[in-house]
Amino acid sequence: MLRNHLLLTLFTLIATASNPSAADAAQLGDWGIEIDHVSHSTVAGDDFFDFVNAGWLDSAVMPAGFSRFGAFAELALEAEENVEAIISEAAAMSPSPESANGQIANLFASYMDTARIEELGLTPIEAGLEKLLALESHEAVAHWMGRQGTSSLVAVRISQDAGNPQRYLVHLAQSGLGLPNRDYYDRQDEPFPAHREAYRAYIAQTFERAGVDRAEQRAANILALETKIAANHFTRVEQRDREANYNLIRRAELEELAPGFPWQALLSEREVDQVEELVLANDRAVIANAQVFAQAPVDHWASWHAFHWINNHASLLPEAFAEAHFEFYQRRLGGVEERRPRERRAINLVSSRLGELVGQSYVERHFPPAHREKVETLVEYLRRAFAQRLAVLDWMDEETRAEAQRKLDAFLPKIGYPDRWRDYSAVSIAAEDLIGNLDRLGSWFRADSLARLDEPVREWEWFMTPQTVNAYYSSTRNEIVFPAAILQPPFFDPNADPAVNFGAIGGVIGHEMGHGFDDQGSRSDAYGVLRNWWTDQSRAEFERRTDALVAQYDAFEPLPGMNVNGRLSLGENIGDLGGLSIAHHAYQLYLADHHGGEAPVLDGFTGDQRFFMAWAQVWRTIETEESLRARLITGPHSPARYRVNGVVRNIDAWYDAFDVGPDHALYIPAEERVSIW
């Protein structure tokens, strides 16, 4: 009954949006798409990404401090301006330090007090540095791996148990590297050997700036040590395998499985040594690196610890440290040409570390309740379309179909902001103590995480702030989450043409729903339990289709000699393809109810054309070569161009909408097009 009511609400919303006299104008163009950017030279069937976005691509300028810029970044900058106003107003009130406004104002002030930061130098981290350099045993090294602000060979986190999502467990995973992943340590093609040499030099220079002796030798030892660690790490593709990374073991088994590492020292420091069960992810890597740990001299670990201690704090230290950190990680590895102004960095620090405190004010100012209701309604529309598609899939048998429908029915949408906010009131934030502030916040988050082990599952908890321009799906919670900041043009505009909303935020909603049914999300059931609810026949048919999608994306070559990794990006590609397909079905349902199956033509563009153009507009992006290279190696998402071109070429309706035929570059014969959901 509620779902029918929501659909009627959406019908009313969309009907008014398609009638200019009944609603305000859309923010982008007259009806939601900036058609001035449409190419006059590129044919849609040859490069749909460029066809829709050519004008924007030609005129877009990379802002300072960015290596990739597009619709997401545009909205992030807008959210940043809104957060700046919140911070400024908080400071103007001269609030008491313990108040919410006082915490916000003081954290910002502590980052902006560069004179104080320069005056203190390394003093805030000096005691820790001296202790790390003086480490004398492997057990002491492991103890420090469990402390705040340090790095660890083994990551320790507390999250829901994928095998029983009604409880929290300690999870252990591979860690220990200073470069982005294992590829950076062993690839022999340029620029990777040069990156490794630059990393070694950066380590040595970090020690020299800190007045630590034997800088060059320590740097060589650290690089050699991390190279051994990296050789044992799971690849990025292997890390995606949820079943291979779910190894439920007894705490007592750790020493037997991975001898050589002082597990009691690490776990006691993290205050989790009394747990009876835990999840060992990346088991092969953790086991092998326990031996690396035992075989490496303590002095090498002391150097490793000391470097990462400084490096982890670098952006909070005097300018010489912060600038060098930027030069290596952001400029060299990421392609960012210049640092953002300090004030911008301070805003983002406050927005991330006091995320929900800032988020409460953000929502009050920028996300009216009506927006939440409208998006919730749109989610239900997508759910209806997905259900209809599930019902007629010719490759899925009835047993599997029933489980899939049960999972779809159980999806929990979270829109805009949490219904319960985190309480940071116990954290002392001082205007003159930047590193102390972040240490105390870190301690609060660590204690909050530990508390989960003794609590029921926090159904109310969010893993993004309202001012974040993004969305996510959680497989253990079977929930789709859309923060307030993404629910703006070009993604969502209540005054835009319905085709645009269905093609933009509808495609994103479908994408997140699709993650529940991608190659990994599909391994959890309606209740988030990691189990096989598929018949062998249906899983084989599913994998036949996903293998074809992998092959398509493997063929894309964004940089000479560097192709998209279709297996690494498979989950996101399934989400894109399934999401846009579901959104188009939902749009057709709307048209059948309100326009007799036919959309009005606007500025010469049909409804289907506007739908697909909205998807392309969402992904308009410019990017540096360094950023693109890093994305191809480490990122699960395909580059923006292929999130458009790689998807539409598999959807029959796109061919009809733009008269795409065999002579066009993106054409795929009908029998080779991939359709999953």
Q: How far apart are CA 671 and CA 255, in angstroms?
A: 54
- 3-class secondary structure, 484: helix
User: Residue by residue, what is the 3-state secondary structure of 350-419?
Assistant: HHHHCHHHHHHHHHHHHCCHHHHHHHHHHHHHHHHHHHHHHHHCCCCCHHHHHHHHHHHHHCEEEEECCC
Query: Is residue 13 predicted with pLDDT exceeding 90?
Result: no
pLDDT in tens, 355-412: 999 999 999 999 999 999 989 989 998 999 999 999 999 999 999 999 999 999 999 9
To which residue do tokens 């508390």 refer?
A: 451
pLDDT at 14 over 60: no
- Which residues touch 300 (CB under 8 Å, ≥6 apart)? 221, 222, 225
Enclosing H/E stretch for 158: strand 154-161
pTM of the entire predicted model:
0.93
pLDDT at 4 exceeding the cut of 50: no
Residue 404: what pLDDT? 98
Encoded tokens for 662 = 């065999």
Tell me which amino acid residue 670 is.
A
- For the sheet with 412-416, list strands across it: 412-416, 479-483, 472-474
Residue 47 confidence (pLDDT): 98
| Confidence (pLDDT) at 163 | 98
Query: What is the per-residue pLDDT for 19?
Result: 40
Encoded tokens for 640: 């923006």
Q: List the domains of the chain with CATH numbers.
A: 2-60+367-418+462-672 (3.40.390.10), 122-316 (1.10.1380.10)
CA atoms of 483 and 417, how far apart (whole Å): 6
Tell me how far apart the alpha carbons of residues 144 and 306 are, in angstroms, rounded to a whole number.
11
Look at 439 and 7; give whichever has higher pLDDT: 439
Q: Is the pLDDT of residue 126 over 60?
A: yes
pLDDT in tens, 284-301: 999 999 999 999 999 999
pLDDT: is 330 or 595 the higher one? 330
Residue 194: count other Cβ atoms within 10 Å of its Cβ.
10
Query: What integer pLDDT is reported at residue 25 of this predicted model?
Result: 86
Which DSSP helix (H) or strand (E) runs through 159?
strand 154-161
Q: CA 141, CA 279: separation in Å to the nearest integer?
A: 23
Place 16 in a pLDDT band, splitting at 50, 70 and 90: very low
Distance of CA 215 to the CA centre of its chain: 36
d(Cα 91, Cα 105) in Å, to the nearest integer?
Answer: 5
Phi (first) and psi of residue 449, to 5 degrees = -65, -45
Long-range Cβ contact pairs of 18-21 (< 8 A, separation 24 or more) = 18/497, 18/498, 18/594, 18/600
Query: Which amino acid, 335?
Result: G
Structure token digits, residue 127: 């005691």
pLDDT at 5: 33
For 157, the 3-state DSSP assignment is strand
Give the integer Cα–Cα distance in Å for 179 and 308.
Answer: 11
- Could you tell me the pLDDT band of residue 23, with boundaries at 50, 70 and 90? very low
Q: What is the pLDDT of residue 595?
A: 80
The tokens of 620 are what? 């308009």
Largest Cα span, the chain: 78
Looking at every residue in the chain, the average pLDDT score rounds to 95
| Average confidence (pLDDT) over 132-150 | 97
Task: Report how far residue 553's alpha carbon sits from residue 252's, in angstroms, rounded to the nearest whole number.
Answer: 44
Handedness of CA 616, 619, 621, 623 (dihedral sign): negative
Only one residue has tokens 């007799």, namely 596
In tens, the pLDDT along 645-666 reads: 999 999 999 999 999 999 999 9
What tens digit of pLDDT does each residue of 458-474 get? 999 999 999 999 999 99
Give the mean pLDDT of 489-498. 95
Q: Are strands 479-483 and 472-474 parallel, antiparallel or unpaired?
A: antiparallel
Instruction: Give the Cα separation of 113 and 432 in Å (integer).
Output: 7
Q: Which of 548, 583, 511 is nearest to 675 (CA)?
A: 548
Single-letter residue type at 526: A
Q: Please, is 663 exposed, middle or buried when counting C-beta atoms within 10 Å of its C-beta (0-12, 13-18, 19+)?
A: exposed
Cα separation, 617 vs 309, in Å, equals 42
Nearest alpha-carbon partner for 435 in 144, 178, 113: 113
pLDDT in tens, 229-260: 999 999 999 999 999 999 999 999 999 999 99
Q: Can you state the angle between helices 215-232 and 192-209, rounded to 10 degrees?
A: 140
Overall average pLDDT of the 69-77 stretch: 97
State the Cα–Cα distance between residues 77 and 64, nearest whole angstrom.
12
Q: Positive or negative CA dihedral for 91, 96, 98, 100?
A: negative
